[in-house]
Amino acid sequence: MTSRPSASGPGDGAGSGNPHRAAAGGAWQRVVSRMRAGWRRADDVRTGTRWSSIATVLGGVVVAVVCLSLVLRGRVWAWVPLAIAAAVALREVRYLQRVARGGRRGPRYQENAPR
Q: For every one of its 115 residues, what pLDDT tens digit does the chain have, with 9 covering 90 and above?
A: 555 555 555 554 555 555 555 566 788 888 888 777 766 655 555 556 678 888 899 999 999 999 999 999 999 999 999 999 999 999 998 888 887 777 665 555 555 555 5
pLDDT for res 97 = 83
CA dist 33 and 29 (Å) reads 6
pLDDT for res 101 = 76
pLDDT for res 42 = 53
pLDDT for res 26 = 80
pLDDT for res 50 = 75
CA-angle at 34, arms to 32 and 36, nearest 5°: 70
pLDDT for res 70 = 96
Nearest to 48 by CA among 89, 102, 92: 102
Nearest to 105 by CA among 40, 61, 48, 21: 48
Q: How many CB atoms sit inside 10 A of residue 70's CB?
A: 16
Q: Per this entry, what is the length of the chain?
A: 115
Contact 57, 92 (CB under 8 A): yes
Q: How many CB atoms sit inside 10 A of residue 67's CB?
A: 21
pLDDT for res 58 = 93
